[in-house]
């Protein structure tokens, strides 16, 4: 098994553990979880309302939005599951959803894409766009 396969196996196991704990723990997940091409569909189906933050390390607006996503994940723990998908490391999902600009926030309700929010914005505006689906 090469190094990439081993890392992917570890990531997958970590995600399965996190989702299993989420389903059995009294504490909801209060921080964004790492999303990859391989666990994307599992994450999207794991909660009633899921927001995927599509970002990249080199993207200044993405880095600007990171603390906002962290805050929203804490504030809406148990109501909204937030995930972060690095588009440089995971090209399949951005291709599938035709993501041309980042940050892009994909909003899924009951596993179905209901909104696509593109660009950096104040917390209040992003919060309003997302919470209308609760």
Alpha-carbon gap, residue 133 to 131, rounded angstroms: 5
* Residues noted as catalytic: 59, 62
């Amino acid at each position: 098994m090469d190094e990439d396969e081993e890392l992917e196996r570890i990531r997958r196991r970590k995600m399965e553990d996190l989702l299993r704990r989420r389903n059995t723990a009294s504490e909801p997940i209060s921080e964004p979880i790492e999303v990859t091409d391989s666990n994307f569909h599992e994450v999207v189906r794991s909660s009633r309302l899921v927001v995927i933050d599509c970002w990249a390390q080199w993207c200044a607006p993405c880095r600007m939005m990171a603390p906002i996503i962290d805050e929203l994940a804490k504030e809406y723990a148990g109501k909204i599951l937030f995930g972060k998908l690095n588009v440089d490391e995971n090209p399949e999902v951005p291709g599938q959803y035709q993501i041309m600009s980042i940050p892009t926030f994909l909003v899924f309700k009951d596993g179905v894409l209901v909104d696509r929010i593109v660009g950096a914005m104040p917390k209040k505006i992003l919060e309003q766009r997302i919470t209308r689906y609760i």
